[in-house]
Amino acid sequence: MNEQTAEQQPLVVVPEAEGVAALSTAGVRAVVVAPDADVPAEARGASVLVVGPAESAAEVEAALAQVAQLPDLKLLVSLGQGSEQWGDLPMSVSIATARGAHGGSTAEWVVAAVLAQLRLLPEHLEAQREHRWGGRQARTLMRSEVLVLGAGDLGENVRARLLPFGASVTVAARSARDGVVSMEAARELLGSTDVLVVVLPLTDATRHVVDAELLAALPDGALVVNAGRGPLVDTSALLAELQSGRLLAALDVTDPEPLPADHPLWDAPGLLLTPHVAGNTEGAGERAWTQVAEQVSAYARGERPPNLVR
């Protein structure tokens, strides 16, 4: 089989110069078009569009505007792991993600957040600021019962990082499989769950999956950790539990997001809050482009991209 000439290679629109280098051996031609720019005439024959994580409405709108300017578009590849924001994408366009790029770093945040809350680090930081020596007995991950909702790349990374601490970790997904229980079975475990970690993808079925009823089933003192998407958790229901002092929480994502300055979550007792930075670590961009290059290379060979979600 003869190799394609440069002119015959698929044309790919990328949002930054780093993408040109990342795709240099992918068997494609790459052209840089800024995410908020119109697609120039010479790039409108592109069959692949690479976009950023698009975690804001403005970013999604800008990407869809570029999609509308690419009549031959066949594949959209995201530098993020989520795909729920692409519901308005034409069905003729397939979607692949950078799944595998951010799972490890986000799972590290989960471990850090869980340990910080169980070992009372926020309290100790406050005591340090007040020059006050002393403290109460903390909890430990050893022999804790951890329930992880979400069995994708992130869920498996969370399990792998928590097990060495001596915790018992159960991972749940929509359907049971080897090493994974169903969501229905997971609900039967809530009463003995010390730490609930939420890393599900956001869909119509998972929106507010952590609602007032589910939270009420957790024992007093349980810790709720959300590193997936903000709307997976009913904010009002969680806020009520925090304000009552019954539960603890650690959130890297919120609903709404960004969190308004006057939102009551900022001052909720028992809450550790970070501004959607769990995956924002050194090397994140390089890892994402490595995954994107794998998707684009498969497409160029006429194969199914391994991270195809639609």
Q: For the domain that residue 191 is a member of, what is the CATH number?
A: 3.40.50.720
Based on the fold, state whether residues 64 and 165 are members of the same structural domain.
Answer: no
How many distinct structural domains can be found in the chain?
A: 2
C-alpha dihedral sign at 157, 158, 161, 166: negative
Residue 184 Cα distances to 77, 154, 225, 237, angstroms:
33, 20, 20, 21
Q: Give 30-36's long-range contacts (Cβ < 8 A, gap of 24+).
A: 33/66, 35/59, 35/62, 35/63, 35/66, 36/62
Based on the fold, state whether residues 239 and 189 are members of the same structural domain.
Answer: yes
pLDDT tens sequence across 177-228: 999 999 999 999 999 999 999 999 888 899 999 999 999 999 999 999 999 9
Is residue 178 a part of any domain in this protein? yes
* 57 backbone dihedrals φ, ψ, rounded to 5°: -60, -35
Based on the fold, state whether residues 164 and 211 are members of the same structural domain.
Answer: yes
Contact 88, 243 (CB under 8 A): no
Task: Name the residue with tokens 């340090």.
Answer: 128
Question: Which residue from 222, 234, 227 is spatially nearest to 196, judged by alpha carbons?
Answer: 222
Average pLDDT over residues 99-109: 94
Based on the fold, state whether residues 95 and 108 are members of the same structural domain.
Answer: no
Based on the fold, state whether residues 238 and 139 are members of the same structural domain.
Answer: yes
Based on the fold, state whether residues 34 and 178 are members of the same structural domain.
Answer: no
Based on the fold, state whether residues 123 and 196 are members of the same structural domain.
Answer: yes
Provide the mean pLDDT of the chain: 95
Average pLDDT over residues 268-275: 98
Based on the fold, state whether residues 187 and 159 are members of the same structural domain.
Answer: yes
Based on the fold, state whether residues 233 and 128 are members of the same structural domain.
Answer: yes
Task: Name the residue with tokens 């309290």.
Answer: 123
Checking if the pLDDT of 1 tops 50, the result is no
Domain hosting 14: range is 6-101+283-300
Based on the fold, state whether residues 226 and 261 are members of the same structural domain.
Answer: yes
pLDDT tens sequence across 47-70: 999 999 887 889 999 999 999 999
pTM: 0.88
| Amino acid 6: pLDDT | 66
Q: Which of 276, 287, 301, 310 is catalytic?
A: 276
| Amino acid 54: pLDDT | 86
> What is d(CA 10, CA 297) in angstroms, rounded to the nearest whole number?
10
Task: Give percent of the chain above pLDDT 90.
Answer: 90
Q: Which of 159, 229, 287, 301 is catalytic?
A: 229
**Catalytic: 229?**
yes
* 252 backbone dihedrals φ, ψ, rounded to 5°: -100, -15
Average pLDDT over residues 146-172: 97
